[in-house]
């Protein structure tokens, strides 16, 4: 069982990452913050929103299978009730690394999604935020990593 640091490093070593839950109304929406930071750090990042054709000035995809060439990893930043469906889609597409975002609130973590993903060979990070770890972190997220350590798993 990898440590959180090992899992985060492996996840962030991927260059093609989808972020689900990116909103058309981005004001401080967690998925949008993650999407923009990954894009700024040079990742090929794809926003996923079933109800939007465009977000943050980029084409948005209605589901993971619509992304040309696929992705290597997925950040789930939707309601927990939608996480299991996304995890099932990841398994169908052969995506083996998934991060369910969780900051100060309830986040996107779903125990059913976590269990399903792990049963299907997916490395599931069930909590925390990719922006809490290098090379995507900033001072604020480093502070949140300490403040919300109960929301960040020790092992995955």
Region of poorest pLDDT, from 6-20, 66-80, 93-107: 93-107
Average pLDDT for 120-133: 93
Kindly indicate the confidence band of residue 151, based on its pLDDT and cuts at 50, 70 and 90. low
- pLDDT score of 52 more than 80: yes
Q: What is the pLDDT of residue 93?
A: 98
- The rounded mean pLDDT for the chain is 90
In terms of pLDDT, which residue wins out, 108 or 106?
A: 108
Beta bridge partners of 61: 48
pLDDT of the residue at 138: 79
**4-70+94-137 domain in CATH 3.40.50.720?**
yes
Q: Which tokens sit at 126?
A: 């069930």
Q: How far is CA 72 from CA 90, 94, 123, 151, in A?
A: 10, 9, 12, 24
What average pLDDT score do residues 75-94 get? 96
Q: Say what the pTM is.
A: 0.91
pLDDT recorded at residue 36: 93
Q: What is the mean pLDDT of residues 79-87?
A: 95
CB 24 within 8 A of CB 53: no
**Other beta carbons within 10 Å of 42:** 9
Structural domain boundaries in the chain = 4-70+94-137
Buried b (16+ CB within 10 A) or exposed e, 123-140: bbbbbbbbbbbeebbeee
């Amino acid at each position: 069982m990898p440590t959180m640091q090992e899992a985060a490093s492996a996840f962030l070593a991927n260059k093609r990452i989808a972020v689900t839950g990116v909103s058309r109304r981005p004001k401080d929406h967690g998925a949008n913050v993650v999407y923009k930071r990954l894009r700024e750090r040079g990742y090929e990042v794809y926003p996923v929103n079933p109800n939007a054709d465009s977000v943050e000035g980029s084409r948005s995809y209605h589901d993971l299978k619509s992304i040309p060439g696929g992705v290597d990893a997925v950040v789930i930043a939707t309601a927990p009730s939608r996480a299991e469906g996304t995890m099932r889609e990841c398994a169908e597409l052969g995506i083996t690394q998934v991060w369910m975002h969780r900051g100060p609130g309830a986040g996107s973590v779903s125990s059913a999604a976590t269990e399903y993903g792990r049963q299907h060979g997916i490395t599931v990070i069930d909590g925390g935020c990719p922006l809490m770890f290098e090379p995507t972190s900033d001072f604020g997220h480093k502070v949140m990593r300490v403040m919300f350590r109960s929301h960040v798993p020790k092992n995955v």
